[in-house]
Structure 1
Amino acid sequence: MNVSYRNLSLCCTVLASLVVVPAYGQGVVTTREGGANASLRSKAGHAPATAKAARPAPAATDAQPHSNVEQIRVTSHGITTSNGVNNLTPGGGLMPTQTAPRSQSGVTRDFIAKQAPTANISSLVAELPGVNYSSQDPFGLTGNNMTMRGMTQAQIGYLFEGAPMADPINYQPYTSMMVDSENLGSVTVSQGSPDMDAPLYNAVGGQISAQEINPSHHQGGFVDLAGGTHSANKEFIRYETGDIGNTGIRGFVSFSHTSYNNWRGPGGLFRYHIDSKFVKEWGDGNSISAIFSYNRQQQTAWRSPSLKQWKQYGDSFNYDGDFTRGDSLFYGLAISNLNSQTIILPSHFTLAKNLKLHVTPYYEHQFGPSNGGENIPTTGGYMGTQQYNSLVGIPKGTGSILTESIDPWNQKSSSLNMSLDWTAGHNKLSVGYWYNYTTHEELSTFNRVFNNGSYSNSPIVVADTGRILTGYDLNFKQQVNTLFIADTLKLLHDRLILSAGFRAAMVSRTGTNNVPGADPYYKAGNYFEPLPQFSASYRITKHDQIYINGTTAFRAPASVEAYSQIFDPNASHAVEQPGSLKPEYSIGEEIGFRHSGFYNVAFSLFNLNMTNHQVTSLNYIPGTNQLISEPINIGGQTSRGAQIEFGLRRWHHISPYLSGQYLHATMDNNFNAGGGNYLPTAGKVAVESPRFTGAIGLNYDDGTFFGNFALRYVDSQYTTFMNDEKIPSYITSDIALGYRMKKLGPAKAPQIQLNIMNIGDNHYLSGGSSFTTNAHPTRTVAGNMYMSNGVAKTSAPVYLVGGAFAAMVSVSAGF
């Protein structure tokens, strides 16, 4: 295990210090509107239900993931918060009550508000069972990766307010673009299957649903100012309109700025973000919400080492801080941008007492560019398969010239998701339709780099043809049509709930590559997948539930690279060929048990079988620093295991949490490496599938002083199909400490909070960036050496470097 005695000692010391704290009595929670709830803990130790939200999340979560009432809360002994903390969720916000007939976990404001204000959705769910979060950034803002049950984040469906937020083609979630953590109300993780009505076509590995907080009924706002190590800072402000006259409309608008210097290597990040949400409510369950977000973000890319490079250089394997002529590794050339504009309009209408309509139109625009340095030939290079003699404005005979390779990807997606619920007695029938239209344009260019490291705004042109020099000129279009029907029957006084449904997903794609010699120039993919689901749950007692389910899901091939070749001026042929166009298909089964109350337990067993499982690997274009997405079809995969979590409701201001998972994920087939070579991979452990993962959480909050501790363990993980290279297991831990006041002048419930990430300063590899067949010489199924041009063929994976120690202090208050 890659953990030092110092790291383990620090973790144990912090854990002990949070346990040994003075105990105070519990109070009575009242909202600012003056209504009082029952005590936090009844004589039987069970918390009461809280106010209903205007629109519940798609699946049942905590009693109050995002309440309509104002975020400021007061208890009888003086607890006041301006950030939404109410201390009602078991496990310190890590175990909201669940009732869905499947494995499901979540986090609420009780946990979210006590994390660093830079945290994103992926980093916030790292303690939940089955989640394997690979950090590169200790602040949790960017450069991260996640798997669940051996499935990558590109195989997990991401929803924000009911709309899919991942890239609709390569499925990367880019969670830092979605929402500021100060505006995030709750996150729900379904480890095995998506909702029947979810607008997703990639969720073979589960679903993550995020909900924004609802606007307050009272005018006011919230300010959060933070600063930390590595020159990190964040400034956030939210203005609440409150109820606008008698219109039934209320809303908020927020703005934030974030920046930091990279914790390893030169460069850094800046981010500007806007969130807004307006709600109109009337009658019995009628509401229309208007949600808008804007994100502008730029970051110096992280450089990924091989295992050999990591052992030799450690954290110092980075881009160069100073520019020298011809240096393609200069950090100023390795820039990535994540920009987006999002509009979501969730609407809910009660057409009749037993008939409800749900309509969610949305639009998202995501665009780059992503850049990297590359030396290209001044003469004799290639555009596609055509060799060029010279480049406009570039002297001949200089051999090569340093350029900035620019990938200005531009993607727009529009959708409409509708469903109709009809209830008759104990039966509810739901039907729905989802339509999506996506366009994607991607024209790479090469711009000349000057002697000071800056680069031209004009792309280089081939003198022979007058065309812009490019490695790919892609135009991609996609249409999705999905229909579903589901029926839910409640029996035995609603204790037995049976649900069955059928979903038909139709995806149509076309792509062209307008580069000379591209073969094929045009390629299309059409997919029709039937997706049945069944579930049953039985409430044994008021606090105990058992469930069983059988689900299916599919994923259309990931990334435009699955349809188009990629070229480079240094190669006479394509440096990447189109991947497999077969869709993934999964069949899963789960059986589980839950107990809710003073102590909360959730346990489940799962089995997942996949065909045409595609491992998405990020690899460098040969001879460059440009990462491209490469889908690899490894055939079948089976994932089996068990997960458990335990959380205690607040007891003497303390709320502990435990989670864990055992996973046995294996490849079902021998891998076809091409050229008649089959590698003996059947029965090998799947990549990125740690056998054991677990987390310990401990929360203390007496209303004035509060603290939060989290420790995560991740077992070793293979990164090659032949299981001949892996990264060691590791432990990381974080801590939060804070102090609140009731009031300070005009400031309502001001507080100061310290977050320390990776308190043991553990230096480790957190996951794989690329995955390969074998890192060392190996033999094929036929017993021959796996060879290429007479040499044993090997390929070393590259890795994500886990974020080291970082700290951040934040000061926040309501107004």
Structure 2
Amino acid sequence: MDLERRLRFFWRQNRMIRRKQSLIFMALFSALAVPGAHAQQSTTPAGGATTAAAPSVGKVTQTVTVTATGETRVVQTVNRTSMLQAAPGTSPIKVVAQLPSVDFTTSDPYGAYEWATRISIRGFNQNQLGFTLDGVPLGDMSYGNWNGLHISRAVIDEDVGRIELSQGTGSVAMASTSNLGGGLEFYSLDPADKRSFTLDQSFGSFDAVRTYGRFESGLLPHDVKFYLAGVYQGSNKWKGHGQIGQWYAQFNAKVVKYFGGKAVWTTYADYSNRHEVDYQDLNKIWEQKLGYHWDNYGNWQEAIQAAYACDGQGSYPSPVNTLAANQDPCDAAYYAGSGLRRDFLGYSALKVAVTPKLLWRVTGYGHRDDGRGLWFTPYTPSPDGSPISLRTSEYGITRGGFLTSLEYDGTRNRVKGGVWFEGETWDLARRFYATSVASPMHSLYHFPKNPFATQWAYSFPTTVYEFYLQDEYHVTPALTLAAGFKTEETNTDGKLSPEVLSNASYKPGQYAQGSLESGKPFLPQVGVDWKADKHDELFADGSYNVRAYQPGGYGYGNTPWGTTQAGFDQLKKTLKPETAWSEEVGYRRNTKRTSIEVSYFHVNFNDRLLAIAQGVGIQGFASILSNVGGVTTNGVDAAATVQLGHGFSLYNGATWSRSVYDNNIFPAGQAEMYTKGKVAVDAPEGLWKSELSWKQRHFFANLSSDYMSERYFTYSNDGHVAGRFLANAGLGYHRALLGEVDGLKIQFNVDNLTNAQYYSTIGTNGFIYSDPLSLNDNTLQVGAPTTAIGEMSFRF
């Protein structure tokens, strides 16, 4: 029984609740949810999961929920059991990679390195998808996120209860201004009813160490329960020199209180402090001539020598001196780079059963982020004569908002509507700090101070307004129709800071200022679900979505503000926000032993915005933003889980998808780019995922594989990386009771079993039109080698 029905039940049974309050709370409220509950997910309670996460036969395996019965769209779930069987410290977003249509890439072993972590679904990349945690918006989760934060910083991995993925059409109620396509909804664990303390210790390859602890209060007087959790993880990069340590500390707290069976109040808080040393972006020539393990110098004197050589003085250090002049030895390596992030995220949510059929929800949230992207550049010398300076991208987010909704559950109609408002200020600056010939003078792990120059500094105040309304009408017990729409408006004003405007070197019109509005007054979503019998059903849906403009300065993504004032003023006359119409039709079958889903999807992506990069990424030149037309995607995906007996289950997911450009590109001042009919960059046509799982009494094991076909990294399709195949394995022992220990788990995981060498993430420095020899754009990263990690967990 889901949260809404529980609240309505208790509303009717208020007298009985008062008489038997403690029994009812223990038996029925142990898995109450935060906003976003769905009735069909009863085995993994909405808003999280208690310490028990038993799968239901025919729907949930140890891997995924293949189907979501009764949904008019594709909705699939990764449950807590699957997440706990991944290697400790594995990003929740990496676990989702086993689902169909999901293209996931990363260059670190755990999928947590934000610069190179990418997820694409049905032709849409990460910043065109939607992401939420317990209903709270996370923005587009891109690097240098302007309106949220990455899921790995929003919640500790072990505190995630479940993940829901909508591959093609995100929920009409999803709080997102970026979900042109699907959406990922993460749900944190609720506190358990039983008091306990969990300690989890793991060690692994590359000096990895992770310590996690969680204290559960259990159900206290006045119907309150809470948990406090913390984690520290440290490891080295799997390649590189010098400062290569990666570490973070994170803390979560969650409190749930019940009010007489009519309401539940939830408060959640998260603090994260993350330090990541960068892997160098590569091209094929560098990887071939300098080696698979090539990375930044990490040695200051070598970096100084290379910077002088870049200016035409002397020679490059070995082995960069083997590169020809046209193979860009200047950018083959820098001293180092890193990303630093400090975040605080919190929300408070209330659910009230106003009447037996009417449920009200309201959530208020706030988020503060301070971040730095550090990069030692040879293109801007320091004032004292050093040929290198420290270049930073400096971020600051202050945002807050609320979501409120009403849901009426009648005999045949389930009507829901709601409002989302967010106010935000995003500060972004590009600054330079001095180094000396003798030393870098700055650590990769600390925010630098006292810049000698500021290239640009912006403030982007933004407001978001969204309203949605939807009705699910049960025509018959077998036939459901759903129709709804949302209205979305985003207003962003780009303002140069007084620091820049008062600078003697500032030239009026050098950088863009001004406001832009995006959104649409009517974004419809329709769907139908027909149950042919108790095992089989057909569904179809369609939706229209819009994406807000991305703020930023020179060389910063697809931003309209990354140009001059004249360029911006010209853009405003014709600029349109990106939109997409998505359609899908599919079939589901659920029996005791099998669960199958097959769907066909079609997407028209219109008014695609593209910033044509000028120079290499570290130079930060102005980009040329253009409306480059549309992309058409057609594809089929399928997923099936079979219970084989004797504790074995087999999952397979397959996708064929083709995304092609509809138009040629006519960038201002450049030759026509012939892209019509070309396959979209970073959009593999074939994906295959498989996992064999086994569980017998206290032991469990799994063997998984992941195939991805070739991907293009140029718009003309003359540059590509080959397909790749990865295999992973896990083995463990779990026992609920063992003497004084309430829970014991021992687990061992190995990723990339065959030690495959492959190109992982592409497009880290954007994409260009043509690069057949992979000489002109260092935008590739290679994948991590075999990684092993062992874990021991106790619960007392």
Instruction: State the TM-score bracket (shorter-chain normalisation).
Output: 0.7 to 0.9
Superposed, 1:563-574 pairs within 5 Å as 563-565=560-562
CA-to-partner distance for each residue in 1:390-411, whole Å, 9 max, x for gaps?
Answer: x9xx45xx4x542211222101
Partner of 2:322: none
* Compared CA separation, residues 433 and 675, structure 1 to 2 (3 A): same
The answer to whether structure 1 residue 536 and structure 2 residue 528 are counterparts is: yes
| Separation of aligned partners in 2, 1:772 and 1:751 | 45
Match 1:232 to one of 208, 233, 242: 208
CA-to-partner distance for each residue in 1:26-46, whole Å, 9 max, x for gaps?
Answer: xxxxxxx999x9xxxxxxxxx
| Separation of aligned partners in 2, 1:777 and 1:235 | 46
Match 1:126 to one of 97, 100, 111: 97
Structure 2 unpaired stretches of 5+: 1-22, 308-330, 501-505, 554-558
* Compared CA separation, residues 68 and 508, structure 1 to 2 (3 A): closer
The answer to whether structure 1 residue 590 and structure 2 residue 584 are counterparts is: yes
Report how far residue 428 of structure 1 moved.
Answer: 2.5
State whether residues 64 and 79 of structure 2, in contact with CA within 8 Å, keep that contact through their aligned partners in structure 1. Answer: yes
The answer to whether structure 1 residue 308 and structure 2 residue 285 are counterparts is: yes
SS of the counterpart of 2:98?
A: coil
Report how far residue 582 of structure 1 moved.
Answer: 2.6
The answer to whether structure 1 residue 605 and structure 2 residue 604 are counterparts is: no
State whether residues 187 and 208 of structure 1, in contact with CA within 8 Å, keep that contact through their aligned partners in structure 2. Answer: yes
Partner of 1:364: 367
Partner of 1:154: 127
Partner of 1:257: 232
Report how far residue 449 of structure 1 moved.
Answer: 1.7
Superposed, 1:393-404 pairs within 5 Å as 394-395=383-384, 398=385, 401-404=387-390
Superposed, 1:743-762 pairs within 5 Å as 743-762=737-756
Match 2:785 to one of 768, 786, 804: 804
The answer to whether structure 1 residue 471 and structure 2 residue 465 are counterparts is: no
The answer to whether structure 1 residue 215 and structure 2 residue 181 are counterparts is: no
Superposed, 1:131-280 pairs within 5 Å as 131-143=102-114, 144-166=117-139, 170=146, 174-245=150-221, 247-266=222-241, 267-280=244-257
| Separation of aligned partners in 2, 1:447 and 1:70 | 47
The answer to whether structure 1 residue 110 and structure 2 residue 75 are counterparts is: no
SS of the counterpart of 1:444?
A: strand
Partner of 2:618: 624
Partner of 1:64: 43
| Separation of aligned partners in 2, 1:125 and 1:505 | 28
Partner of 1:291: 268
| Separation of aligned partners in 2, 1:50 and 1:261 | 43
State whether residues 720 and 771 of structure 1, in contact with CA within 8 Å, keep that contact through their aligned partners in structure 2. Answer: no
Partner of 1:724: 718
The answer to whether structure 1 residue 505 and structure 2 residue 488 are counterparts is: yes
* Compared CA separation, residues 409 and 101, structure 1 to 2 (3 A): same
Match 1:550 to one of 522, 542, 557: 542
Report how far residue 631 of structure 1 moved.
Answer: 6.9
Report how far residue 635 of structure 1 moved.
Answer: 1.6
CA-to-partner distance for each residue in 1:511-554, whole Å, 9 max, x for gaps?
Answer: 02344124454221012312011111112222222111111111
Report how far residue 320 of structure 1 moved.
Answer: 0.9
The answer to whether structure 1 residue 637 and structure 2 residue 631 are counterparts is: yes
SS of the counterpart of 1:316?
A: coil
SS of the counterpart of 1:308?
A: helix
* Compared CA separation, residues 777 and 655, structure 1 to 2 (3 A): closer
Report how far residue 613 of structure 1 moved.
Answer: 2.0
Partner of 1:525: 516
Partner of 2:429: 443
| Separation of aligned partners in 2, 1:171 and 1:727 | 32
| Separation of aligned partners in 1, 2:99 and 2:431 | 42
CA-to-partner distance for each residue in 1:88-138, whole Å, 9 max, x for gaps?
Answer: 663423125413211121210121110011111210101100001112111
SS of the counterpart of 1:90?
A: coil
* Compared CA separation, residues 678 and 373, structure 1 to 2 (3 A): same
What amino acid maps onto 2:65 in structure 1? M
| Separation of aligned partners in 1, 2:262 and 2:364 | 19
What amino acid maps onto 1:482 in structure 2? E
| Separation of aligned partners in 2, 1:557 and 1:800 | 27
| Separation of aligned partners in 2, 1:809 and 1:628 | 47
| Separation of aligned partners in 2, 1:452 and 1:418 | 54
What amino acid maps onto 1:264 in structure 2? K
The structure whose residues are more often helix, as a share, is: 2
| Separation of aligned partners in 2, 1:578 and 1:175 | 33
Report how far residue 809 of structure 1 moved.
Answer: 0.2
What amino acid maps onto 1:348 in structure 2? K
* Compared CA separation, residues 114 and 336, structure 1 to 2 (3 A): same
Report how far residue 282 of structure 1 moved.
Answer: 3.0
Partner of 2:18: none
Report how far residue 653 of structure 1 moved.
Answer: 0.7
What amino acid maps onto 1:420 in structure 2? L
Partner of 2:441: 454
SS of the counterpart of 2:439?
A: coil
Match 1:694 to one of 683, 688, 695: 688
Partner of 1:490: 474
* Compared CA separation, residues 170 and 631, structure 1 to 2 (3 A): farther
| Separation of aligned partners in 1, 2:95 and 2:418 | 31
The answer to whether structure 1 residue 736 and structure 2 residue 712 are counterparts is: no
Match 2:65 to one of 95, 98, 120: 95
Report how far residue 487 of structure 1 moved.
Answer: 1.6
| Separation of aligned partners in 2, 1:136 and 1:251 | 36
Report how far residue 54 of structure 1 moved.
Answer: 4.0
CA-to-partner distance for each residue in 1:284-322, whole Å, 9 max, x for gaps?
Answer: 452111111111000111111012222222323211132
What amino acid maps onto 1:165 in structure 2? L
Paired residues, what number? 715
State whether residues 626 and 667 of structure 2, in contact with CA within 8 Å, keep that contact through their aligned partners in structure 1. Answer: no
State whether residues 367 and 410 of structure 1, in contact with CA within 8 Å, keep that contact through their aligned partners in structure 2. Answer: yes
Report how far residue 649 of structure 1 moved.
Answer: 3.9
Report how far residue 352 of structure 1 moved.
Answer: 1.2
* Compared CA separation, residues 606 and 106, structure 1 to 2 (3 A): same
Q: 160-169 vs 594-603, which deviates more?
A: 160-169
Report how far residue 614 of structure 1 moved.
Answer: 3.5
CA-to-partner distance for each residue in 1:730-771, whole Å, 9 max, x for gaps?
Answer: 001111011234444432221210010111111110131244
Report how far residue 495 of structure 1 moved.
Answer: 1.8
State whether residues 94 and 104 of structure 2, in contact with CA within 8 Å, keep that contact through their aligned partners in structure 1. Answer: yes
The alignment's C-alpha RMSD in Å is: 3.3
Q: 637-646 vs 671-680, which deviates more?
A: 671-680
SS of the counterpart of 2:152?
A: helix
| Separation of aligned partners in 2, 1:218 and 1:623 | 52
| Separation of aligned partners in 2, 1:653 and 1:729 | 33
SS of the counterpart of 1:455?
A: coil
What amino acid maps onto 1:418 in structure 2? T
State whether residues 195 and 217 of structure 2, in contact with CA within 8 Å, keep that contact through their aligned partners in structure 1. Answer: yes
What amino acid maps onto 1:343 in structure 2? G
Structure number with higher relative contact order (C-alpha < 8 Å, ≥ 6 residues apart) = 1
* Compared CA separation, residues 370 and 162, structure 1 to 2 (3 A): same
| Separation of aligned partners in 2, 1:314 and 1:123 | 27
